[in-house]
Amino acid sequence: MTIRKLVGAAAAVATLAVMALPAASQASEKAAATPRYPDGVVRFDRMPNEKGYWDNPTAVSLVEEGVRVEMDKNGKLRNLADAKKVAPFQPWALALYEYRQKNNFADDPMKVCIGPGNPRMMHTPGGLRIIQDRNYERAYLLFGAGNHGWRTIYMDGREPPNPEEVTLTFYGLSVGKMQGDALVAESIGFNTRFWFSNGGLPHTEALHLTERITRPSHDVLHYEVTINDPRTYTRPWKASWDFHWVSGDVPTQFCEDGRK
């Protein structure tokens, strides 16, 4: 066989190998890649003909980013002396947080089926979907837990309203926009009927949340929230965690009042 034929045969084998391997490789890359609309905007929900939702948050409760304290899945501190590390409390807020911890969350509104509010809902297991309505320029967050609560983020360019003119709710009033690949939302207008976290963090009607949601890959959703409530905390502070993609539909969960 001539050198030219040997080279040609080797090239053919190499070509076949390249054609054979990418089938699985390309499928893997496609599964791992961040889904997008045709114009490049990130999809935060399912692709067409796909079933799935976000769940399994990597944080069990709300703690300032960079702080390490031990707590159980209900937000109960292993060591009450760590309470002051959890967030930059005003004195009254720290005292109330410690009381709720010592009282084993006896007054938690969720025990009588009062909604969890935001951002507690974002670290409550039970499933989450983010529906992008690009016709009406809104995003809807649908929750499996908490009696299937839902909230709206207005993406139509409106400015946040005057806080004194907003009806106070559990999820507040949210306006948002896309900043690159991130969905960024500003929320005000929260009532005080819910606990800010399962661990008993307090808040007031002055609460202002800045949320940043990204999807770095198909299977990971990253959530970051900046808390600004000067009546409760001495400075703004931040927390973040991830969700993971779960195949199927959001489970049906309803609250049952546990009072005897």
How many of the other CB atoms lie within 10 Å of CB of 16? 10
Q: If pLDDT is split at 50, 70 and 90, which confidence band does 21 have?
A: very low
Taken as a whole, the chain contains a residue count of 260
- Dump pLDDT digits (tens) for 62-108: 999 999 999 999 999 999 999 999 999 999 999 999 999 999 999 99
Beta strands in 73-179 (DSSP E): 128-133, 138-143, 150-154, 173-179
Report the Cα 68 to chain-centroid distance in Å. Answer: 20
Give pTM, 2 decimals: 0.85
The whole-chain average pLDDT of the chain stands at: 87
Residue 136 clears pLDDT 50, i.e. is over it: yes
- Dump pLDDT digits (tens) for 194-218: 999 999 999 999 999 999 999 999 9
Minimum mean pLDDT range among 180-189, 212-221, 247-256: 247-256
Report the Cα 189 to chain-centroid distance in Å. Answer: 19
Extents of the domains making up the chain: 3-32, 52-247
